[in-house]
Amino acid sequence: MAYHATVIPVMIASPGDVAEERELIREIIHDWNDVNAEISNVMLAGIGWETHSSPELGTRP
């Protein structure tokens, strides 16, 4: 069933050598949403540089 929810972006920032831990955090956020999003009307959205950034365009300064 559809419902309205407030989406809260959660920035996942860490050094590059802990990719497994970043993925674990995304899984935990997903699990939290499965249990809590509909009853609390809040949904967490895990965002990170791997999926939510792009290289700078243009010439070098």
Compute the residue count for the chain: 61
Distance in angstroms (rounded) separating the CA atoms of residues 43 and 9 = 9
pLDDT at res. 50: 77
Q: Please report which confidence band the pLDDT of residue 61 belongs to, taking 50, 70 and 90 as the band edges.
A: low
* pTM score of the predicted model: 0.78
pLDDT in tens, 5-34: 999 999 999 998 999 999 999 999 999 999
Distance in angstroms (rounded) separating the CA atoms of residues 11 and 23 = 13
pLDDT at res. 8: 98
